[in-house]
Structure formats: structure tokens, C-alpha cells
């Protein structure tokens, strides 16, 4: 019988540093681990002692890929602590920048980080020669998302304009009209992406699990709503600790989480499984064409769910711009009365539900912070998927097993630097 | 033969590597003029044979120290990209807490297993040939540096404060609006992007050479910042420099 020794040190094409370890002999699995080895950054320590307006600048630096999600979550936590209800205009702009965030991150993930596996190459770079039209389309979609973020945030990575209770600068109507036209044109690129996805062979594997995401009765939730589980229904954001139950494992600098079962999953697939009925008709159509049906238990289908969401947020952004142009953009001065207290922000980062929980003193100085990162919530699910998948594929050649495990990790789109940055620091 | 480029990430948010992937036409141009042989966030292949190494992230563990020394030995040219690599950036905020105690509280019995040292910029460990400053790195500066290196020239990086670019951008001075800023001692090159977009300068591009930080501190005090608030302001990105101590 054969011996299998797989040790992938620092999985490539994921954000951050993680390892895969598999040792098997004569069909017996001796070791099988998903290890998180990112250097911890002690973000809670970095935030502690800073005033709220510095906190919202430091917090996005947790992650370069989803800085707009951390920014939004951080701002919401501050507003929640100070009892601020932002204006309708602020909420519309926040949703618009959030569409840019989701589109940017999803396109990066399925084109740059995942597609090379499905097309049998090591990175997007050789595709410039073999699939030039696909690469140009990917770059075009990414540029569109980045430009939309630029207009609303002043910069795509680490936003400048979003503030507590408002924006430091507003987009110009002509900028919004121009980008809206490009968003409409992008629907053709999305359709071409759907056609491309139809030709790709997505691995078949299922493990029944629990999916957790935000849920809002008014729309497909990204920055509002309650916490929803496919097992246990909805619960208010204030009870997030009961859902996440983080715990430590020795081989990881990130925390793990579980709720109703041995693990749960968050992210595009979890959102789809909880909220698919609220998608737009074209997004629903794409899901159907690609065989994505709720409740889907194949983690590799997360990439398909991302594409479905990319279509949804593009249409959503077009609609938001119509609303903003119809009501007209007006300068609004933030009205912030700082007070002591605790506030929780909850958003759907591209990789799943994200919480920032801050406690401030009466001067608006942060005393304590706890941030629960989507990838932390998925680490345990990745491990359990490994344990369910490996026995099914152990008879395959070693390089195929390795690729399937790496692809599984990439399907979750883990943001490992985020997750390891968030170890809770308790001060005496 | 085309020059061989390698990208390595240390402790940071990887936003600077993302900024490289965020280039559109420029990325295609770079690929046609050079070979990218190592870029973990974007590719599977890895090679130890490279000419120019781009480093993002700060040095925060003993493993980081050993790894950056090895990269320095292999690379002909080493470029630090982004605030974490160039000046230590926000990672240095943790340096102001007693790390041993924090580690013990977090990890308890396993504290010895986790390797962490005070955060520092790359040039605190090995010599750095060129810098692309900013958090995230300023994209136009990256293009300028790469073009210069690929054509064998020396890139010109501004050594004057953000205030110069801020005035040219026609902005109303942040101090006149009743807010405060560290633009007077921060290296220009960003076109005062944050002030232009309605905010203030936080100093992410590092200090100019020979900054007059005493006079900056006096100005901040004149605008009613307490000594603690002044230090907090400098610690945001400049925690590794003397000015924040």
C-alpha cells in the first residue's frame, strides 16, 4: 500500500499564510491538519487607547482585500456605541461602496486566485498568453469595481472618505452617471463569465453543515439585519457571541468557531443558502444555469455563489445610483455626540459575517475591542471538510489529492492575515 | 534575459500586493518587460532565483528576521513597498505594550511557542535599496520605481513635505478648518490624497529627511492637542521613529 505525505507550506493564491498537512499510510490517515501560521498582529492592542476617529482609520488595515468591509463595520460599531442613526443618503452611499467591495473581492478571487486551478495553470500570468480575452475581461471588471470604490471612498484600498455618520466628500453626479453606464455594460462580461464557468469542472463533494449569514427582511443583506442560521433561524446581532463561540487550537495562531454543530460556514455560499430568494432575477437565473441550488452543501460551489453575487451587486449598484441621482446629493455635516458605552457592528465581508465590538469611555477613547473575522469562523469548517473529503479521495495520486485540498482551501477564499490579526488580547 | 522579479509578504494586510494586482494595463506592461517568478498571493510557482525583490509587511518575528536576511542575500536589488516595510507602520502600535505579558495572557502555557518581537521596518534588519512609501503604497510611485529599475535608472522620490503638494492641489489647510495634521513633516508623493478627499494627513508616507518635528509638535500644541494626543498622532504610522517615543 502506498504512503502519502503532503505538506503544503504556505498555500499559494490565498490571502495570508496557511499550511496543509496530510500523512497517510496503508489507507490510514495519521495526520490531517489545516494550520494557520500567520504572524499575529494584536489588532485589539493597536486599537486600544485610540480615539474613535483614529479607530476607523486603523481598523481597515486589518485586511488589504476587504478594507472597505472592516471600515464599514468599524464605523457601524462606533455609531452603535454613540446612538447615531446615519441619514438615508449616508446609508445609500455606504451600500454603494459595499457593492464595489463585494464585486472587487469576488472578481479577484474567482479570476485571479481560483480560475488558474480550473484552467490547469499556476497563476493568472500565463493566461495572458492563452486566454487573453478572459484576462482582459477580469481586469476590466476589477477596474470597474475599483473605480466605483474610488468615487465613493477616495481610494479602493484603505478608504479615506467614509466617516462616522457621513462622508468627508461626496461623489459628483457626473461621476455616478459615467460609472453607472460602465456597470450596465459589465452585465455582458458577467454573462460571458457565466458561460466560462459552465465549461469548468467544479469538484463534487458534499458535507452537510450549518450556514450563518446576516438576514434583512427588506433586501439581500450585506450591511444590515439579524444573524441567520440555516439550522436555528435568526437572532439579534447583540447576541453574536452565542453564535460564534470562538475557541483556541494549538496548531493555529487564529481562533476557531462553532455553533449548532461541530462547525459552521460563512461567506457567499452561506449568504446564498440563507437569502437566495432575495436575489435579483438575473442573479437567480445565473445560479440556475450553473446548477447552484439552496441549500447547497458543496464548499467548492462557493465560487459559483460569488459569481451570482457579483451579478446581484452590479444590478444593485445601478439601482442605488438611480436613487442617489433622483434625490440629489447634499452636503451633510456629521452630528457626533461621543458617550461612554459599547457598540457592535455587523456586516457581510466578502468572505462572510464580520463583527466589530468596541467599548469606549466618555471621551470616545477605545477601552476594549473584539473582532470576529469570517475566516476564523471558516477554519473549523475547512478542517471538517478535510476530514470528510480525504477518505473519499485517498486512492487518487498524491498530486491530485494535494490539488483538491488546496482548491478546497481556496474555495473558502480564506483571508488568513485577517483571522490571525484578531486574537483577542485581554488586559488585566 | 528579462529581469526576474519576486514579491515577498511579511506581517501586514497584503494590501500592497493587492495594489500590484490592481494595476490594469501597467501589470500587463510589467509582465511583458520582466518575469515574475515569486508572488505567493497570486501564483503557485516559486523560484529562489531572482534579481529584484519587493518586500511588503513589517518584521515582527525571529522567523521574519532570518527570512529577510536570506532574501537580501539572493536579491541584487531590494525594494520595500508600503508603510509596514518602509517605516514599520501601524504594526508598531503594539510595541508600546509589554509584549511578553500580552503574549502570556493570550496564549498562557504555550506562550513560548509563539514567536513575536517588536515590529520594525525592513531596513532595521537589512539594507534596503529603494522605498515605495504609503499605506497602501502609492501606486504611481511603484510604477516610477519599477520603470526606473527596468531601464537601469535611479528613481526620483520627493524629499519635501505633503504641504507642498497640498497647496498645489488647492486644498484649504486642515489647520484652518480647526483640525490637525502631520503633513508638514511627512514625505510628499501622494498628491495630498487624504486632504484632497476631505480628511487629514496621518503620516503614512514617513518623515521627510531632517524633519523639523519639534516645530510640528509646537504647532500641534498651539492647536490645543495635549502631549498625549500629540504622541498618539505620531504613533499612528510613525511608531518606529524617534518622534513617537
Mean pLDDT by 10 residues, chain A (428 residues): 79 74 89 78 82 96 92 98 98 98 93 82 80 87 95 95 97 98 97 92 94 98 97 94 77 72 94 98 97 97 97 98 98 96 97 96 94 87 95 92 90 69 36
> Which phi and psi (to 5°) does residue B35 adopt?
-105, 125
Element (H, E) at B234: helix B227-238
CATH number of A43-420: 1.10.645.10
* More confident call, B45 vs A118: A118
Q: Test A142 with B12 for CB contact under 8 angstroms.
A: no
Q: Test B31 with A146 for CB contact under 8 angstroms.
A: no
Q: How far is residue A246's CA from residue A375's CA, in Å, rounded to a whole number?
A: 12
Q: Where are the alpha helices (DSSP H) in A235-327?
A: 240-244, 268-275, 281-289, 302-327
Q: How far is residue A54's CA from residue B237's CA, in Å, rounded to a whole number?
A: 11
**CA A316 from chain center: how many Å?**
18
Residue B38 has pLDDT above 70, yes or no: yes
Report angle CA A91, B137, B94 to the nearest 5 degrees.
Answer: 80
Residue B96 has pLDDT above 90, yes or no: no
Contacts of B220 (CB under 8 A, 6+ apart): B180, B229, B230, B233
Find the closest chain B residue to A49 by CA distance: B232
The distance of A339 to chain B (nearest Cα, Å) reads 19
Question: In terms of Cα–Cα distance, which of B189, B116, B184 is closest to B155?
Answer: B189
The distance of B194 to chain A (nearest Cα, Å) reads 6
Find the closest chain B residue to A61 by CA distance: B13
Q: How confident is the prediction for chain B on average, in pLDDT? A: 89
> Which phi and psi (to 5°) does residue B36 adopt?
-90, 115
Q: How far is residue A176's CA from residue A333's CA, in Å, rounded to a whole number?
A: 21
Find the closest chain B residue to A166 by CA distance: B198
Q: Where are the beta strands (DSSP E) in chain B?
A: 4-9, 35-39, 52-56, 77-81, 130-132
Convert B30-68 to b/e letters by CB count within 10 Å (16 or more is b).
bbeebbbbbbbbbbbeeeeebbbbbbbbbbbbeebbebb
Q: How far is residue A339's CA from residue A361's CA, in Å, rounded to a whole number?
A: 7
CB B79 within 8 A of CB B132: yes
Write the DSSP symbol of residue A365.
B
Show residues of chain B in contact with A116, CB under 8 Å: 43-44
Comparing CB atoms, the residue among A10, A45, A65 nearest residue B94 is A45
What's the pLDDT at B43? 73
**B14 Cβ under 8 Å from any chain A Cβ:** yes
CB A271 within 8 A of CB A312: no
Q: How far is residue B91's CA from residue B236's CA, in Å, rounded to a whole number?
A: 9
Residue B110 has pLDDT above 60, yes or no: no
Show residues of chain A in contact with B27, CB under 8 Å: 139
The distance of A180 to chain B (nearest Cα, Å) reads 20
**B88 Cβ under 8 Å from any chain A Cβ:** no
Q: How far is residue A152's CA from residue A154's CA, in Å, rounded to a whole number?
A: 6
> Which phi and psi (to 5°) does residue A347 adopt?
-140, 165
What's the pLDDT at B172? 95
At how many degrees (to 10) do helices A302-327 and A173-199 cross? 160
**ipTM of this complex prediction, to 2 decimal places:** 0.93
Is A10 in a helix, a strand, or coil? coil
What's the pLDDT at A129? 82
CB A370 within 8 A of CB A345: no
What's the pLDDT at A257? 76
CB A419 within 8 A of CB A38: yes
Question: In terms of Cα–Cα distance, which of A44, A202, A14 is closest to A109?
Answer: A14
DSSP string of A179-221, one letter each residue? HHHHHHHHHHHHHHHHHHHHHS-PPP-----EEEEEEBTTBS-
Q: Test A39 with B43 for CB contact under 8 angstroms.
A: no
Annotated domain spans of chain A = 3-36, 43-420
**B114 Cβ under 8 Å from any chain A Cβ:** yes
Find the closest chain A residue to B44 by CA distance: A122
- Exposed/middle/buried for residue B243 (C-beta within 10 Å: 0-12, 13-18, 19+): buried
Q: Test B12 with A64 for CB contact under 8 angstroms.
A: yes
* More confident call, B175 vs A125: B175
Comparing CB atoms, the residue among A46, A417, A428 nearest residue B94 is A46
Question: Under CATH, what is the fold of the domain B4-150?
Answer: Rossmann fold (3.40.50)
What's the pLDDT at A328? 97
Q: What percentage of chain B exceeds 70 in pLDDT?
A: 92
Comparing CB atoms, the residue among B22, B27, B93 nearest residue A156 is B22
Q: Test B94 with A156 for CB contact under 8 angstroms.
A: no
CB A114 within 8 A of CB A409: no
Show residues of chain B in contact with A15, CB under 8 Å: 14, 41
Q: Test B198 with A160 for CB contact under 8 angstroms.
A: yes
Find the closest chain A residue to B110 by CA distance: A250
The distance of A243 to chain B (nearest Cα, Å) reads 22
What's the pLDDT at A250? 66
What are residue A229's DSSP bridge partners? A212, A233
Q: How far is residue A94's CA from residue A88's CA, in Å, rounded to a whole number?
A: 10
* More confident call, A417 vs B204: B204
What's the pLDDT at A3? 86
Q: How far is residue B13's CA from residue A15's CA, in Å, rounded to a whole number?
A: 9
Q: Test B11 with A41 for CB contact under 8 angstroms.
A: yes
At how many degrees (to 10) do helices B227-238 and B213-222 cross? 130
- Exposed/middle/buried for residue A147 (C-beta within 10 Å: 0-12, 13-18, 19+): middle
Comparing CB atoms, the residue among B13, B27, B44 nearest residue A13 is B44
Write the DSSP symbol of residue A2.
-
What's the pLDDT at B189? 96
Tell me the mean pLDDT in the region B112-140: 90
**B135 Cβ under 8 Å from any chain A Cβ:** yes
Show residues of chain B in contact with A62, CB under 8 Å: 13
Contacts of A325 (CB under 8 A, 6+ apart): A173, A176, A177
Annotated domain spans of chain B = 4-150, 162-244
What's the pLDDT at A426? 34
Max Cα-Cα span within chain A: 72
Show residues of chain B in contact with A146, CB under 8 Å: 22
Least confident of A143-152, A318-327, B29-38, B149-158: B29-38
Amino acid at each position: 500500500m502506498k504512503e502519502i505525505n503532503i505538506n503544503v507550506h504556505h498555500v499559494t493564491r490565498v490571502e495570508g499564510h496557511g499550511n496543509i498537512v496530510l500523512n497517510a499510510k496503508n489507507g490510514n490517515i495519521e495526520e490531517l491538519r489545516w494550520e494557520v501560521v500567520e504572524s499575529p498582529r494584536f489588532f485589539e492592542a493597536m486599537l486600544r487607547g485610540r480615539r474613535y476617529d483614529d479607530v476607523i482609520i486603523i481598523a481597515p488595515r486589518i485586511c488589504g482585500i476587504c478594507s472597505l468591509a472592516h471600515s464599514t463595520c468599524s464605523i457601524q460599531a462606533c455609531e452603535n456605541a454613540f446612538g447615531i442613526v446615519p441619514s438615508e443618503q449616508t446609508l445609500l452611499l455606504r451600500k454603494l461602496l459595499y457593492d464595489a467591495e463585494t464585486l472587487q473581492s469576488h472578481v479577484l478571487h474567482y479570476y485571479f486566485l481560483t480560475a488558474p486551478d480550473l484552467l490547469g495553470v499556476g497563476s493568472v500570468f500565463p493566461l495572458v498568453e492563452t486566454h487573453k480575452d478572459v484576462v482582459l475581461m477580469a481586469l476590466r471588471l476589477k477596474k470597474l469595481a475599483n473605480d466605483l470604490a474610488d468615487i465613493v471612498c477616495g481610494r479602493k484600498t484603505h478608504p479615506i472618505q467614509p466617516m462616522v455618520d457621513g462622508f468627508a466628500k461626496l461623489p459628483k453626479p457626473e461621476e455616478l452617471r459615467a460609472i453607472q453606464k460602465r456597470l450596465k455594460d459589465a452585465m455582458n462580461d458577467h454573462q460571458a463569465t457565466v458561460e466560462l464557468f459552465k465549461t469548468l469542472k467544479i469538484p463534487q463533494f458534499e458535507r452537510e453543515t450549518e450556514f450563518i449569514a446576516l438576514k434583512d427582511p427588506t433586501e439581500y443583506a450585506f450591511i444590515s439585519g439579524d444573524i441567520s442560521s440555516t439550522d436555528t433561524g435568526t437572532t439579534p446581532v447583540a447576541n453574536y457571541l452565542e453564535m460564534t463561540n470562538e475557541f483556541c487550537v494549538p496548531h493555529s495562531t487564529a481562533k476557531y468557531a462553532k455553533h449548532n454543530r461541530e462547525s459552521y460556514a460563512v461567506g457567499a455560499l452561506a449568504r446564498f443558502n440563507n437569502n437566495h430568494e432575495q436575489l435579483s432575477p438575473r442573479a437567480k437565473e445565473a445560479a440556475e444555469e450553473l446548477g447552484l441550488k439552496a441549500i447547497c452543501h458543496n464548499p467548492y460551489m462557493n465560487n459559483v455563489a460569488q459569481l451570482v453575487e457579483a451579478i446581484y451587486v452590479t444590478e444593485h449598484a445601478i439601482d442605488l445610483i438611480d436613487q442617489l441621482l433622483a434625490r440629489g446629493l447634499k452636503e451633510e455635516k456629521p452630528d457626533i455626540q461621543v458617550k461612554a458605552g459599547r457598540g457592535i457592528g455587523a456586516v457581510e465581508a466578502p468572505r462572510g459575517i464580520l463583527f466589530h465590538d468596541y467599548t469606549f469611555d466618555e471621551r470616545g477613547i477605545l477601552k476594549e475591542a473584539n473582532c470576529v473575522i469570517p475566516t476564523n469562523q471558516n477554519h473549523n469548517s475547512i478542517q471538517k471538510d478535510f476530514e470528510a473529503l480525504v477518505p473519499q479521495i485517498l486512492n487518487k495520486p498524491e498530486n491530485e489529492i494535494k490539488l483538491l485540498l488546496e482548491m478546497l482551501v481556496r474555495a473558502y477564499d480564506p483571508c488568513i492575515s485577517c483571522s490571525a490579526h484578531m486574537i483577542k488580547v485581554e488586559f488585566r | 534575459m528579462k529581469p526576474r522579479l519576486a514579491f515577498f509578504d511579511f506581517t501586514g494586510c497584503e494590501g500592497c500586493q493587492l495594489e500590484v494586482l490592481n494595476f490594469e494595463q501597467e501589470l500587463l506592461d510589467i509582465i511583458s518587460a520582466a518575469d515574475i517568478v515569486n508572488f505567493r498571493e497570486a501564483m503557485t510557482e516559486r523560484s529562489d532565483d531572482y534579481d529584484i525583490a519587493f518586500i511588503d509587511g513589517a518584521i515582527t518575528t525571529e522567523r521574519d528576521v532570518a527570512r529577510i536576511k536570506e532574501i537580501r542575500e539572493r536579491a541584487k536589488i531590494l525594494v520595500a513597498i508600503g508603510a509596514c516595510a518602509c517605516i514599520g507602520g501601524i504594526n508598531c502600535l503594539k510595541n508600546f505594550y509589554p509584549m511578553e505579558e500580552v503574549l502570556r495572557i493570550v496564549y498562557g502555557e504555550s506562550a513560548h511557542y509563539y514567536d513575536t518581537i517588536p515590529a520594525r521596518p525592513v531596513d532595521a534588519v537589512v539594507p534596503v535599496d529603494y522605498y515605495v512609501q504609503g499605506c497602501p503604497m502609492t501606486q504611481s510611485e511603484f510604477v516610477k520605481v519599477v520603470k526606473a529599475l527596468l531601464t537601469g535608472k535611479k528613481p526620483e522620490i520627493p524629499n519635501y513635505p505633503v504641504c507642498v503638494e497640498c497647496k498645489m492641489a488647492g486644498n484649504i489647510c486642515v489647520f484652518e478648518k480647526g483640525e490637525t495634521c502631520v503633513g508638514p513633516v511627512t514625505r510628499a508623493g501622494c498628491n495630498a490624497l487624504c486632504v484632497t478627499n476631505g480628511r487629514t494627513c496621518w503620516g503614512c508616507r514617513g518623515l521627510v529627511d531632517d524633519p523639523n518635528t519639534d516645530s510640528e509638535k509646537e504647532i500641534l500644541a498651539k492647536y490645543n492637542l495635549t502631549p498625549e494626543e500629540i504622541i498618539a498622532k505620531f504613533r499612528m504610522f510613525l511608531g518606529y521613529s524617534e518622534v513617537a517615543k
